[in-house]
Amino acid sequence: MTGLNYTRFELKRAFRNRRFFMFSFGFPLVLYYLIAAPQRNTHNLAGTGISAPLYYMLGLASFGTMASMISSGGRIAGERQAGWTRQLRITPLSPRAYFRAKVIASYAMAITSMLLLYIAGTTLGVSLSARVWLEMTGLILVALLPFAALGITLGHLMNVDSVGPLTGGLVAILAFLSGTWFPLTHGFLYDVGQYIPGYWIVQARDIAYHGHGWTTKGWAVVVIWTLVLVILARIAYRRDTQRV
Amino acid sequence: MEPTIELQGLVKTYPGGPHGPVRAVRGIDLSIARGETVALLGPNGAGKSTTIDMMLGLSRPDSGTVSVFGRSPREAVDAGAVGAMLQTGELIRDLSVRELIALVGSLYQRSMPLDEVIGLAGLSNVADRRTQKLSGGQAQRARFAIALVPDPELLVLDEPTVAMDAQGRRDFWLAMREYAARGRTVLFATHYLEEADANADRAVLMASGEIVADGPTTEIKARVGTRTIRVTLPLATAEELEALPGVGSTERHGEAVTLRCADSDAALRALLERYPAARDIEVVGAGLEEAFLELTADIADGSSSETRMGATR
C-alpha cells in the first residue's frame, strides 16, 4: 500500500523535527502546570463541578491538540512552496493518500500532546476510571476532525510566510473561546464558544462529571464544522492545483 | 516505431500577467522517438517549462493533445514510465537521502534498487546525510535520483544543472548519458547551447512559445552562426562587408561594425587583407541569447534577421 508507506515516512519526519516537538508539546505542559498547580486543591472550579487540575487538563488538551491538527497547514504550505507537492504529482501517490498521511501525522502529534497532559494531570491528582479516560479521549478525537480539514484548507490558501502567524493567532482565539484559560459559563463568550468544536473538547469533561457525553448540540456543531471544512479543503485544493 | 512523446497543437495561455494574458505556448507539434536524447533549448520565457508541465500532466493545455507512450501523462506517470526533475523544487527535510529515495520508491509498484539509484546519481558519500544538510549541487543530484527511482522509460529534466559547479555538471551529464545508454528516452531543457551540443542527439529550439528549429545539434549549431567580430572601420559599406567570406550579417553603429560570422576565421583573414585600417578587433562567441533572437526574428516577422537585431538593441 503506497499511501501507508508515505504515512510511515510522514510520521518519521514529524517526530524528527525537534524544535516543533518541543514547542508544540512543551507549551501546553508548561502552561498547564503554571495554571493548574496553584489551584490543585480547588475541587469545584467556578461551579463546573470538577477540579481545577481536571478542567485545565482538558482545557490545555484542547489548546494543544487543536494546534497540532492545524499545524499540518504550515507543513502543507511549506511543501507547496518548496515544490515538493508538484514533485509528488508526478508519482503515483494520490492526493487522497497524501492528505491521509498529513491527517494521520497530525493525529499522532495531537494524541502525543494529549497523553502528555493526561500524565501531567495525574501528577496533580486527576484520577478517573478507565471507561471515563477512554470515552473522553474518543470524544476529543472526534472533535479534532474539523481541525484536520482546517489544516489542509489553510495549507492551500496561505503561503509559508502568512500561515505561521495565522495559525498561531487562530489557535489562541479558538482556545480562548473553547474555555482553555477559564470556564465559560455564561455571557457572550459562552454564546459564541458553544459553536466552536474546541469548546466541545473541553466539554468532554462531562463524562467525568455527569457520566454522559456531548449533548445533541455538541454532536451537531462538530459534524457540521467537519462537513463545511472538508468541502472548503476540497475547494482550496482544487483551486491551488489548477493554478500551477 | 511508436513515439515516446507526441504533442499536437499544444496551446497554453496564462491569464493576467502585468501586460495582460501571457501566451506561454502557441501551438507546438513535437514527436520524440524511443531512445532519443533531446535537448529543449530556449531563452527564459520561451515556454520550455510550460511545455514540460503539460507533458507531465501538471498543467492542462488550453487546446491540443499530449500523449506519452500512447497514454495520458497521468496514466504514464501512474505506470512508473516517467521520471522528472522539475526546474524548481526543494527536498523535504528531516529524512536522510537514502530514506528520501526509499520513500519515493515506495510509491511505485516497481522501482530501481536503492543502491543502484544512489550510485547512479553519485550520492554514495552523502546517502546517510539529512536532506537539509546537502549542498546545492548535492541537492540537485538527490532530485535527479528521485527522477530515476521508477527506472523510467522517459526521463524529463528541466534545467537540471542550475545549482551545480563545473565538476558537478560534468558528473551529472556523465550520469545522464549512462542512463540514456540503457536505451531510455531523455528530454532535457536548458539554455546552455554547449550542454545541448555535448549531450543530446537532437535539439528543439523554442522561442516565444513556438518551436523555431528542430534537428540534429550539428545542424542547429551551423544555423545560429558561431562567432561575432567587432571592429572599428570607418569606410566599408555593409554590402562590401557582407560579401566577405564567412560573414552572415553586419550591423553598424558609427565607426563600430559588428559582423556575425558562420566562419569567423575566414572572415577575419579576408577582413584584414581587404581593410588594413581595421582596428580594435574583437572576436567573441555568439551568445545563445543573440542566436535565439535571430532565429525568432526569422520566424516571427519573416524579415531579415539583421533589421530585427538592430531594432532590439
Measure CB to CB from residue A92 to each of B56, B77, B91 and give the nearest one.
B77
- Chain A closest-CA separation from residue B248 CA (Å): 42
Residues with Cβ within 8 Å of B200's Cβ and at least 6 positions away in sequence, in order, are: B37, B38, B39, B188, B217
- Chain A closest-CA separation from residue B73 CA (Å): 9
| Partner B contacted by A96 (CB < 8 A) | no
Residues of A in contact with B103 (CB under 8 A): 5-6, 9
| Partner B contacted by A84 (CB < 8 A) | yes
- Model pLDDT, residue B309: 31
Query: In what helix (H) or strand (E) does residue B5 lie, and over which residues does it extend?
Result: strand B3-17
d(CA B68, CA B60): 14
Model pLDDT for residues B98-107, shown as the tens digit of each residue: 999 999 999 9
Q: Are strands B37-41 and B202-207 parallel, antiparallel or unpaired?
A: parallel
- Chain B closest-CA separation from residue A209 CA (Å): 43
Q: Which of B14, B60, B101, B107 to mutate to test the interface with A (most CBs of A within 10 A)?
A: B107
Closest residue in B to A85 (Cα) is B89
- Contact across the interface for A16 and B94, Cβ inside 8 Å: yes
Model pLDDT for residues B193-204, shown as the tens digit of each residue: 778 888 998 989
CB atoms within 10 A of CB B117: 25
Domains, in order of start, for chain B: 3-216 (3.40.50.300), 223-312 (3.30.70.980)
- Model pLDDT, residue A184: 82
Which one, of B174, B182, B199, lies nearest residue B41 by Cα?
B199
Residues with Cβ within 8 Å of B285's Cβ and at least 6 positions away in sequence, in order, are: B226, B227, B228
d(CA B6, CA A103): 39
pLDDT: which is higher, A111 or B224: A111
- Model pLDDT, residue B298: 56
Q: Dump strand ranges (E) for B45-201.
A: 63-68, 82-85, 154-158, 185-190
DSSP states of B9-55: EEEEEEEEEBTEEEEEEEEEEEEEETT-EEEEE--TTSSHHHHHHHH
d(CA A132, CA A7): 30
- Chain A closest-CA separation from residue B301 CA (Å): 32
- Model pLDDT, residue B225: 59
Give ∠ CA B197-B306-B204 in degrees, rounded to 5: 25
d(CA B145, CA B203): 24
Band of residue B313 on the pLDDT scale cut at 50, 70, 90: very low
- Model pLDDT, residue B302: 41
Residue A183 · residue A104 · CB < 8 Å? no
| Partner B contacted by A16 (CB < 8 A) | yes
CB atoms within 10 A of CB B10: 23
Measure CB to CB from residue B88 to each of A2, A16, A83 and give the nearest one.
A83
Residues of B in contact with A6 (CB under 8 A): 103, 106-107
B166-173: long-range contacts (C-beta < 8 A, 24 or more apart)?
Answer: B168/B137, B168/B140, B168/B141, B169/B195, B171/B122, B172/B122, B172/B140, B172/B141, B172/B144, B173/B198, B173/B199
Q: Which of A90, A93, A238 to mutate to test the interface with B (most CBs of B within 10 A)?
A: A90
- Which residues of chain A have a pLDDT value below 70? 1-3, 243-244
- Contact across the interface for A12 and B91, Cβ inside 8 Å: no
Measure CB to CB from residue A86 to each of B80, B86, B108 and give the nearest one.
B86
Residues 158-217 of A with CB under 8 A from B: none
- Contact across the interface for B86 and A93, Cβ inside 8 Å: no
Closest residue in B to A15 (Cα) is B94
ipTM field = 0.82
- Chain B closest-CA separation from residue A226 CA (Å): 29
- Contact across the interface for A244 and B58, Cβ inside 8 Å: yes
Percent of chain B with pLDDT over 70: 88
- Model pLDDT, residue A180: 86
- Phi, psi (rounded to 5 degrees) for B41: -110, 150
pLDDT: which is higher, A225 or B296: A225
Q: Rounded mean pLDDT of chain B?
A: 85
Residues of A in contact with B108 (CB under 8 A): 2, 91-92
Residues 78-97 of B with CB under 8 A from A: 78, 80, 82-84, 86, 88-95
Cite the DSSP H helix spans in B200-279: 217-223, 238-242, 264-274
| Partner A contacted by B167 (CB < 8 A) | no
Model pLDDT for residues B121-154, shown as the tens digit of each residue: 999 999 999 999 998 889 999 999 999 999 999 9
- Model pLDDT, residue B305: 34
Using the 8-state DSSP alphabet, how is residue B150 labeled? T
Sign of the dihedral defined by the CA atoms of residues B206, B212, B218, B221, in that order: negative
Average pLDDT over residues B65-77: 95
Closest residue in B to A97 (Cα) is B107
- Phi, psi (rounded to 5 degrees) for B2: -65, 130
Residues of B in contact with A16 (CB under 8 A): 94-95
| Partner A contacted by B24 (CB < 8 A) | no
Residues with Cβ within 8 Å of B159's Cβ and at least 6 positions away in sequence, in order, are: B87, B189, B190, B191
- Model pLDDT, residue A48: 77
Band of residue B290 on the pLDDT scale cut at 50, 70, 90: low
- B192 grid coordinates: 546552455
Give bridge partners of residue B66 from the DSSP assignment: B7
Burial of B62 (0-12, 13-18, 19+ CB in 10 A): middle
Burial of A75 (0-12, 13-18, 19+ CB in 10 A): buried
Give bridge partners of residue B230 from the DSSP assignment: B258, B282
- Phi, psi (rounded to 5 degrees) for B227: -135, 165
Q: How many CA atoms lie within 13 A of A229 on its CB side?
A: 22
Band of residue B303 on the pLDDT scale cut at 50, 70, 90: very low
Closest residue in A to B81 (Cα) is A91
- B27 grid coordinates: 501551438
| Partner A contacted by B62 (CB < 8 A) | no
Average pLDDT over residues B210-237: 79
Does B19 score more than 90 pLDDT? no
Radius of gyration of chain A (CA): 18
- B196 grid coordinates: 545541448
Q: How many CA atoms lie within 13 A of B290 on its CB side?
A: 19
- Chain B closest-CA separation from residue A242 CA (Å): 7
- Model pLDDT, residue B121: 93
Residues with Cβ within 8 Å of A112's Cβ and at least 6 positions away in sequence, in order, are: A25, A68
Which amino acid does the sequence have at A188?
A: F
Using the 8-state DSSP alphabet, how is residue B223 labeled? H
- Contact across the interface for B104 and A89, Cβ inside 8 Å: no
